[in-house]
Amino acid sequence: MSAPLFFVGEGVLTDVTVGDALRLEGPEGRHAATVTRLAVGEELLAADGSGRVARGRVTAVGRDELELRVDDLRDVPLPDPRFTLVQALAKGDRDLLAIETGTELGVDEVVPWAAARSVVVWRGDRAARARAKWERTVLAATKQARRARVPVVAGLADRATVVERLRGADLALVLHEEATEPLAAVDLPPSGEVVLVVGPEGGISPEEHRAFLGAGARSVRLGDTVLRTSTAGAAAIALLSGRSRWA
């Protein structure tokens, strides 16, 4: 089994060198020492969210904290091209499943989108709680995938916000069941941002589709089958990663 990954505070690893002692405390220390029950001599990874990752072995375990000796340090470069998933709000936590799997497969930013046909509505306190839940889901998926950087969770977007994101993208894509162009045939830009839009259970409305195409997006399909909103984005991100980062 590969070494588990935990996150330390931003900038904590900036001045750390090989051979230094590093303390893991707080919620992550509690998870490592009490939940995962790492023991002296076991290996783990510590990341600060900036792309720097320390590998080391546990030298001491306390109550809800542990200490490790840093054996190796590496800096993971920013991914390029960068993948942004605009995920429509969906019922039954299907949007959470979408961003969880998408994070494991390589998405770099997720944008919650209040689509015209979204059943779920984020308002007031519910919006803050829901976004916090998205952030926790993305963090957990990042750790599971052993990624050095936690994807950004953007603020709630409406149609106009999505249109602006598509206009600024180096490649803008909209998954649509009636599209004729296969995603597998689309040429990826060598660098920049790829924005992918996935609709809710009821699909993207005709008005939204026209607005997105007017902003320069291309309407694409994955295949002959129609996937749920919970799986469509992840399948597309896997395809894009397979043609770029995993190649």
Confidence of residue 224 (pLDDT cuts 50, 70, 90): confident
Beta carbons within 8 Å of 22's beta carbon, 6+ residues apart: 8, 12, 13, 16, 46, 54, 56, 67, 68, 69, 70
The pTM score is 0.91
For the cut 80, the answer to whether the pLDDT of residue 1 exceeds it is no
Q: Determine the average pLDDT of the residues in 106-123.
A: 95
Q: What is the per-residue pLDDT across 119-165, written as a single tens digit (0 to 9) for each?
A: 999 998 889 999 999 999 999 999 999 999 999 999 999 999 999 99
Report pLDDT digits (tens) over 48-101.
888 999 999 999 999 889 999 999 999 999 999 999 999 999 998 999 999 999
Structural domains in the chain, CATH included, are: 5-75 (2.40.240.20), 82-243 (3.40.1280.10)
Closest CA to 174 of 122, 130, 113: 113
Q: pLDDT tens, 87-105?
A: 999 998 999 999 999 999 9
